């Protein structure tokens, strides 16, 4: 029988471009070359180039599986209570007065992305200012997440290509000219993609300016523990803001620091002036979450809660985490030395100065394309490489590629 | 260098810094949100100390002892996947294996649409996530469209399309007088809607009423949809749970497919695999050809990327492990039938129990209705009495989750319902 409307109502839909970051892995997977190297997405790899499930995570999972009394019921809309409590302690410090005063609301979300989206939508619904300032550059997905959340996105200067470091003056000037109440996205540590972080002194100045101007800080903390190897050091930027009694939002992700990538585990915390406000804010967060996915997935959060609660597992985690952070720092040094040894033109010291999983090489998109074509190196076109994807055996290949790109491509 | 310091100190010079202590909260004006009408019921139930309390609120399956159930096939699948070497990100569209198996359930094991790759499909955060992705997609690509939603429906449907900013219209569905389908009014609404309207349909086991069209009625609805060129979006959250047979529960969808409609489907494993908290589901949109399916899928992925980047792994692995293994799949089908049969048994028991108590009202709708829920016909005041006097918890629209009824509590429940309705 002929159908009346033989045309789909979505006939006009065009194919979306590949996600610039996740698309790198798609392209990498298609490549048949045995020497291909994926330095695109920020997923940790071992020295052997393998993904890593932390021992402590494995243990936790096995315990969960063996526990016959465990069920798979819906979590509350705000997620697993123990997970929320432990996550807040992790980022704010177990002695944080804000937690003790019950003025923090923490809700489990789908990793960092989900926390940012829920926070952004809450702000779009309930906050007086609907503009968020994001640094240039930032994680490619930030502007898209906030735009779909209903915020309008503006930028502040951050990275200085000339020094491959922080454009501190530019940052302060731009924040200074933001309207009162504007939201400011801050990378808590290990800025993605540049690896350039303010010093603690600079953070203090940023804090003063933000409080003076009445701006609202929204921290993205995706690498706590991964930057320096110390969970507490990596949380300092957030903690100095909380210590002054003011309000802020924090998105936490366990994708990298617990290797839970695909389980989508994260938390959004909103630090409020007092407990009453925090309670009301939490009730409104539920209204944002319910029409998105009703309640968050249980598995990953159960693993995290178990590890954070148990002193031995927590300690073991910190050791494994430091191991990952140290390996990345070692890769930085190896790459730097390999470029020195090749006499590659230019100053490459930013490789060892930058922090966290990524290095912003300073390579341009033509050079990147060349490296992909000729050397089967996969990275994002902004010149960002994931150090976590390198090993001692692959560093020479990358160094060769960079050397060739810099000397043969403008 | 000196210049730079001067600039920064000029910016900060006004900073007499007691910090932010003197500022008041940004959130002063935030009102406390109302409790979710469905999930709030369980919260209230948990807070009740009474030993007689009964929870027939949220639609989560319970065995005859009132305990939540983890299916054997799920436990076995979990045993197999524990110690999984990777927890890497899934693609934005989720697990390909899981999606393929899921499409077979909805479209048919040997569906030509699957073979011809005409279905744009992504793993979603259970049924809620699938509906929300579709609503966002609808808003983006058919911005002038509205969604026709049955009255009544699952309360969260309204929230989903509202947050996606798609205007809502309603169509008649439930007829209180008969506690059945208001078919004539439904068909009128279908005919009177502008051509090419978008409709939300419950594929089977309508929530909250348990009232489904018959096969003949589905065929008429499908025919009228073709005449009007309407778009059918099916929410299928209870496949297998309604009759005990997944193929039979997908009949409405198969009728529409046969008639040439380009439908959309939300599928959930929350109930039929007991994977509630794992948040596993699938959104699919049938397209004209493979090229269009690729385009639509790519756009769905973009929407997912802005919400959570990629979906959770664990639940998807459980599903694909079960459905990919013929023995595990057989076990699953058996376990689904057990759940459905227990509910059908409880319907009979509740109805008989009420009739035995001499209730003069008609309770045949309890056994006429299908799926997890019974739309009892109780008024909000009667529901409040059940809660306050008998510690029985249900949503105020009179919806009873039959999954919460057991041989142990059916008598108590029947007695309480009889007491609050006998003067009605």
Q: Which of B270, B296, B324 finishes a domain?
A: B324
Collapse the DSSP code of B281 into the 3-class scheme (helix H, G, I; strand E, B; otherwise coil) and give the result. strand
Query: Are A101 and A181 in the same domain?
Result: yes
Q: How far is B17 from chain A (nearest CA, A)?
A: 7
Per the domain annotation, does A37 fall within a domain? yes
Residues B97 and B164 in one domain: yes
Check whether A23 has a pLDDT greater than 90: no
The answer to whether B12 and B4 are in contact (CB under 8 A) is no
Q: Do B192 and B113 fall within a single domain?
A: yes
List the single best residue of B15, B268, B309 to mutate versus A (max A Cβ within 10 A).
B309
At residue A350, the pLDDT reads 94
A367 and A261 in a common domain: no
* Average pLDDT taken over every residue of chain A: 94
* Of A78-82, A162-166, A291-295, A320-324, minimum mean pLDDT range: A162-166
Q: How far is A337 from chain B (nearest CA, A)?
A: 30
- CA–CA dist B108, B105 (Å, integer): 6
- For the cut 80, the answer to whether the pLDDT of residue A41 exceeds it is no
Burial class (CB in 10 A: 0-12, 13-18, 19+), A404: middle
Closest residue of chain B to A300, computed from CA coordinates: B314
Do residue A19 and residue B162 have CB atoms under 8 angstroms apart? no
- Average pLDDT of the residues of chain B: 91
Whether B424 and B417 have beta carbons less than 8 Å apart is answered as: no
The answer to whether residue A1 sits within a structural domain is no
> Which one of B24, B159, B295 has the shortest CB-CB distance to A291?
B159
3 state DSSP class of B161: helix
The nearest alpha carbon in chain B to A167 belongs to B4
* Nearest alpha carbon to residue B311 among B335, B275, B285, B286: B275
Residue A125 annotated in active site: no
Residues B281 and B136 reside in one and the same domain: yes
Interchain pair A300, B312: CB under 8 A: yes
Nearest residue in A to B58, CA atom: A74
Number of domains in chain B: 2
Decide if pLDDT at A405 tops 60.
yes
In angstroms, the Cα distances linking A319 to A55, A188, A230, B46 are: 11, 21, 10, 40
CATH number reported for the structural domain that contains residue A279 in this entry:
3.40.640.10
Report how far Cα B160 is from the mean position of its chain's Cα atoms: 11
* CA B418 centroid distance within chain: 30
Residue of A nearest to B93 (CA): A22
Site of tokens 């330095």: A39
B209 and B173 in a single domain? The answer is yes
**Whole domain around residue B401: which residue ranges?**
37-69+341-420
B31 and A294 within 8 Å at the Cβ level: the answer is no
Q: Given this model, what pLDDT does residue B18 score?
A: 38
What is the distance between the alpha carbons of residues A407 and B4, in angstroms, rounded to a whole number?
Answer: 34
Instruction: Report the number of distinct structural domains present in chain A.
Output: 2
pLDDT digits (tens, 9 = 90+) for B229-250: 999 999 999 999 999 999 999 9
pLDDT at residue A187 tops 80: yes
Residue A259 three-state SS: coil
Q: What is the CA radius of gyration of chain B?
A: 25
Pairing of strands B168-172, A384-386: unpaired
| B376 neighbors B321 (Cβ within 8 angstroms) | no
Residues A305, A332 within the same domain:
no
Q: Are B51 and B110 in a shared domain? A: no
Q: Which of A274, A309, A344 is the last residue of a domain?
A: A309
Neighbours of A32 (CB within 10 A): 6
Contact criterion met (CB < 8 Å) for B308 and A12: no
Cα–Cα distance measured from residue B14 to residue A381, given in angstroms and rounded to the nearest whole number: 42
Q: Respond yes or no: is residue A154 known to be catalytic.
A: no
ipTM of the prediction: 0.90
Which domain-ending residue is among A278, A309, A340?
Answer: A309
Shared-domain flag, residues A300 and A337: no
Residue B294 included in any domain: yes
Q: Could you tell me which residues come within 8 angstroms of residue B143 by beta carbon, excluding any fewer than 6 positions away?
A: none
Give the structural domain span for A254: 74-309
Residues A339, A384 within the same domain: yes
Given a cut of 50, the residues of chain B with pLDDT beneath it are 1-22
Spatial distance between the Cα atoms of B147 and B167, rounded to a whole number of angstroms:
6
Q: Is cis: bond before B289, omega within 30 of 0?
A: no
Residue B55: the pLDDT is 93
A26 falls in which pLDDT band (50, 70, 90)? confident
Calpha distance B332→B240 (Å, rounded): 10
pLDDT of residue A73: 86
Whether residue A148 and residue B141 make contact (CB cut-off 8 A), yes or no, is no
- Cα separation, B187 vs B219, in Å, equals 12
Distance between the two ends of chain B, CA-based, in angstroms? 86
pLDDT at A6: 63
Both B283 and B149 in one domain: the answer is yes
A67 is catalytic: no
A339 in the same domain as A261: no
Q: Which two tokens stand for residue B285?
A: 């949109």
CATH number at residue B387: 3.90.1150.10
Same domain (yes/no): A281, A367: no
pTM score of the predicted model: 0.91
Q: Is B30 on the interface with A (CB under 8 A)?
A: yes
Residues A263, A300 within the same domain: yes
Q: Does residue A209 sit within a domain?
A: yes
- Tell me whether residues B11 and A173 touch, CB distance under 8 A: yes
Alpha-carbon separation of residue A353 from A257, A280, B183 (angstroms): 21, 43, 71
Out of A309, A343, A373, a domain closes at: A309
Q: At A400, is the secondary structure helix, strand, or coil?
A: helix
- Same domain for B314 and B385, yes or no, is no
């Amino acid at each position: 029988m002929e159908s009346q409307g033989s045309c789909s109502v979505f006939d006009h839909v065009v194919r979306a471009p590949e996600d610039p970051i996740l698309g790198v892995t798609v392209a990498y997977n298609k490549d048949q070359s045995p020497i291909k190297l994926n330095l695109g997405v920020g997923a940790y790899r071992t020295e052997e180039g393998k993904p890593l499930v932390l021992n402590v995570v494995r243990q936790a999972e096995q315990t969960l599986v063996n526990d016959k009394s465990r069920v798979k019921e819906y979590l509350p809309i705000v997620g697993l209570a123990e997970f929320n409590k432990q996550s807040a302690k992790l980022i704010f410090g177990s002695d944080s007065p804000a937690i003790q005063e019950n003025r923090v609301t923490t809700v489990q979300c789908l990793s960092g992305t989900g926390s940012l989206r829920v926070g952004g939508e809450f702000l779009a619904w309930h906050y007086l200012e609907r503009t968020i300032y994001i640094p240039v550059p930032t994680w490619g997905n930030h502007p898209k997440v906030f735009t779909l959340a209903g915020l309008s996105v503006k930028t502040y200067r951050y990275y200085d290509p000339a020094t491959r470091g922080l454009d501190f003056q530019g940052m302060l000037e731009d924040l200074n000219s933001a309207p009162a109440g504007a939201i400011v996205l801050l990378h808590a540590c290990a800025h993605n993609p540049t690896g350039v972080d303010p010093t603690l002194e600079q953070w203090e100045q940023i804090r003063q300016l933000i409080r003076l101007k009445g701006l609202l800080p929204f921290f993205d903390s995706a690498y706590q523990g991964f930057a320096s190897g110390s969970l507490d050091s990596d949380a300092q930027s957030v903690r100095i803001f909380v210590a002054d009694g003011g309000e802020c939002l924090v998105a936490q992700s366990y994708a990298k620091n617990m290797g839970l990538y695909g389980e989508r585990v994260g938390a959004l915390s909103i630090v409020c002036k007092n407990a009453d406000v925090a309670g009301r804010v939490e009730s409104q967060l539920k209204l944002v979450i319910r029409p998105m996915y009703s309640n968050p997935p249980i598995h990953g959060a159960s693993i995290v809660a178990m590890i954070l609660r148990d002193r031995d597992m927590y300690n073991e985690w910190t050791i494994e985490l430091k191991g990952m952070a140290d390996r990345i720092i070692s890769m930085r040094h190896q790459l730097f030395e390999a470029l020195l040894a090749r006499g590659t033109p230019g100053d490459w010291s930013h490789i060892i100065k930058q922090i966290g999983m990524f290095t912003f090489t300073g390579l341009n998109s033509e050079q990147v394309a060349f490296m992909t074509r000729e050397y089967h190196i996969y990275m994002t076109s902004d010149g960002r490489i994931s150090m976590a994807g390198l090993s001692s055996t692959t560093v020479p290949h990358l160094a060769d590629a960079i050397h060739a790109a810099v000397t043969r491509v403008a | 260098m000196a210049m730079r310091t001067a600039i920064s100190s000029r910016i900060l010079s006004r900073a007499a810094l007691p910090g932010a202590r003197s500022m008041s909260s940004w959130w002063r004006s935030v009102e406390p949100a109302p409790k979710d009408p469905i999930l709030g019921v369980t919260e209230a139930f948990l807070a009740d100390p009474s030993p007689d309390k009964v929870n027939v609120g949220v639609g989560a399956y319970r065995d005859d002892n009132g305990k939540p159930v983890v299916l054997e096939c799920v436990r076995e699948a979990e045993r197999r996947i524990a110690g999984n070497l990777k927890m890497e990100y899934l693609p934005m569209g989720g697990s390909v294996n899981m999606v393929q198996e899921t499409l077979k359930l909805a479209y048919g094991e040997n569906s030509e649409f699957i073979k011809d790759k005409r279905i744009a499909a992504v793993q979603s955060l259970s049924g809620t996530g699938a509906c929300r992705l579709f609503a966002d997609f609808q808003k983006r690509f058919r911005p002038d469209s509205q969604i026709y939603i049955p009255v009544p429906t699952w309360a969260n449907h309204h929230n989903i399309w509202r947050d996606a900013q798609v205007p809502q219209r309603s169509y008649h569905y439930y007829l209180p007088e008969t506690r059945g389908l208001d078919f004539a009014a439904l068909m009128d609404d279908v005919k009177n809607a502008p051509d090419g309207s978008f409709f939300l349909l419950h594929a089977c086991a309508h929530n909250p009423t348990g009232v489904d069209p018959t096969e003949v009625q589905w065929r008429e609805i499908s025919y009228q949809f073709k005449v009007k060129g309407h778009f059918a979006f099916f929410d299928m959250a209870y496949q297998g749970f309604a009759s005990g047979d997944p193929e039979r529960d997908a009949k409405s969808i198969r009728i529409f497919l046969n008639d040439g409609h380009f439908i959309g489907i939300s599928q959930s494993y929350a109930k039929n695999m007991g994977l509630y908290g794992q948040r596993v589901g699938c959104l699919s949109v049938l397209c004209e050809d493979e090229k269009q399916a690729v385009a639509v899928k790519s756009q769905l992925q973009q929407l997912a990327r802005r919400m959570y980047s990629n979906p959770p792994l664990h639940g998807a692995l459980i599903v694909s492990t079960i459905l990919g293994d013929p023995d595990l799949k057989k076990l699953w089908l058996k376990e689904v039938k057990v759940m459905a049969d227990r509910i059908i048994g409880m319907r009979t028991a509740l109805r008989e129990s009420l009739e035995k108590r001499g209730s003069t009202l008609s309770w045949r709708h309890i056994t006429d209705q299908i799926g997890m829920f019974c739309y009892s016909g109780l008024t909000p005041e009667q529901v409040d009495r059940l809660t306050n006097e008998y510690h029985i918890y249900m949503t105020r629209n009179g919806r009873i989750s039959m999954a919460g009824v057991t041989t142990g509590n059916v008598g108590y429940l029947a007695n309480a319902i009889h007491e609050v309705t006998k003067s009605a």
